Structure 1
Amino acid sequence: MNLDALIQTIALAAIPVLFAITLHEAAHGYAARHFGDLTAYQQGRISLNPLHHIDPVGTILLPLLTLFVGGILFGWAKPVPVNFAALRRPKQDMFWVALAGPASNLAMALIWGLMIKLALMFPGNYFAEPLIGMSQIGVTINAVLLVLNLLPLPPLDGGRIAISLLPHRQAYKLSKVEPYGMVILILLAVVPVGGQPILGWILTPLVSGVIRVIETIF
């Protein structure tokens, strides 16, 4: 990718990537407060301001690298602190707190899909083409974060959801994986099989399926 194309892509990607990553974390905070945990609220992390959630590596550097070298566009923000023991019904409420992040990504993917629909209704408009480009990135990054975070691997949201749904014995066993979860995820992201990282084999068909559903809706 030449420099001009990279700058143009960064300009289009900045807003959807920032909101996809930071609103995901804010959604966890809002849900946690609703169910009784005030940790994120007391630390000022329940905010729609992206500056409160930006992680220099996960929110800025990693998305820029994936835009530059290609591959699946993804990243992360500073995790919102949640004290699951402070929830009114810790095991049951964990489900909703964990689900709030991916649900926010689904909502944003649908909104960006609607923006594409609206832009296509005014093809001669000066802003239509950039809006379509920005919205396509918005659909993609939110579809990636939706699918990635639903993988049943603690500390990902899917792991938390699985822990909340499993019987206590199985939930306890799965929770013991959490200290190694990010290491496992990194290995999945870098270990290749057939020329593609294992994580790519897992995510690509699922992300494509989510995008096709959104295209069908609009």
Structure 2
Amino acid sequence: MDFDLSELAYIASVWALPVLLAITLHEAAHGFIAWSYGDDTAYKLGRVTMNPLKHIHPIGTILLPLALIVLKAPFLFGYAKPVPVATHRLRKPRRDMVYVAAAGPMANLILATISALLYNLVPLLPDAAALWLAQTLRISIIVNLVLAVLNLLPLPPLDGGRIAVGILPISLAVPLARLERYGIFILLGAFFLLPYLGRELGLDIRVFDWLIRAPVNWMLPFFSGLAGLPEAMRL
């Protein structure tokens, strides 16, 4: 198969910038809030930065998404290198960790909002630039909403899991926290293994659609309105 390198470069440009910004701001937000609440671990390691090279995970950010593209998966999945947080250095560890965890999804929601507002500038640009900006901002809105919703799932090591550990009673928080080492495998099993088993059994098990696609599509009309779009975007 022949590839048009200019076309591939264009596709990469409209995807790479939104994804790198989404990952960078998400992780930098964790580090910044931890730093502001007394833990300078991430700051000393240079993780309170918008430099994407500091946050890229070779498997989660590069190899896993590439593998899903090659396998023609119905959706992309990936993750960045986690920002280290020394919980005991936080002023009020249990409470402050909730803020640190919530900072990542909040950064993605803010970036989605900014992307939607910037979309209103598209008609002011020349055709070629307008097309590129429109595609890039649409991808940015969707990528950031997907990251926000995914990370708010109440399963450690996702941010939602850490938020849940911080606000639940100790009797529930402790067993939930113990799931952290298995969380990524539970997530991958739910998104990939369960749908496969469901197809083998003649069942329609679409965990990604239920947990991610549905909430994102519920929010997209609001962001489409901010962008001035006549019809709501869909994931």
Q: TM-score of the superposition, structure 1-length normalised?
A: 0.90
Amino acid at match of 2:152: L
Matched, 1:101 2:110: no
Indicate which of 210, 213, 216 corresponds to 1:204: 213
Please provide the CA RMSD for this pair. Answer: 2.1
Q: Is the 8 A contact 1:115 1:131 kept in 2?
A: no
- Supply the distance in 1 between the matched residues of 2:205 and 2:134 (Cα, whole angstroms): 29
- Supply the distance in 1 between the matched residues of 2:50 and 2:161 (Cα, whole angstroms): 25
In the TM superposition, residue 43 of structure 1 has moved relative to its aligned partner by: 1.4
Q: Is the 8 A contact 1:17 1:141 kept in 2?
A: yes
Q: Is the 8 A contact 1:58 1:77 kept in 2?
A: yes
Query: Where in structure 1 are there 5+ consecutive unaligned residues?
Result: none
Identical pairs, percent: 45
- Supply the distance in 1 between the matched residues of 2:124 and 2:62 (Cα, whole angstroms): 32
In the TM superposition, residue 45 of structure 1 has moved relative to its aligned partner by: 1.3
Q: Is the 8 A contact 2:117 2:226 kept in 1?
A: no
Indicate which of 60, 75, 79 corresponds to 1:76: 79
Greater CA drift, 47-56 or 188-197: 188-197
Note closer, same or farther for the CA distance 1:115–1:74 as it changes in structure 2 (3 Å cut). farther
Matched, 1:187 2:196: no
- In the comparison of the two structures, how many residue pairs are matched? 217
- Alignment deviations for residues 62-118 of structure 1 (CA, whole Å, 9 cap, x no partner): 334455625333421111101112110011101100000000100111111122222
Indicate which of 222, 227, 231 corresponds to 1:213: 222
Indicate which of 4, 19, 22 corresponds to 2:21: 19
Indicate which of 151, 154, 164 corresponds to 1:152: 154
Note closer, same or farther for the CA distance 1:3–1:215 as it changes in structure 2 (3 Å cut). same
In the TM superposition, residue 155 of structure 1 has moved relative to its aligned partner by: 0.7
Note closer, same or farther for the CA distance 1:70–1:136 as it changes in structure 2 (3 Å cut). farther
Give the 5 Å matches for 1:8-157. Answer: 8-66=10-68, 69=72, 71-119=74-122, 121-122=123-124, 124-157=126-159
Q: Is the 8 A contact 2:29 2:103 kept in 1?
A: yes
SS at match of 2:135: helix
Q: TM-score of the superposition, structure 2-length normalised?
A: 0.84
Matched, 1:177 2:179: yes
- Supply the distance in 1 between the matched residues of 2:39 and 2:165 (Cα, whole angstroms): 18
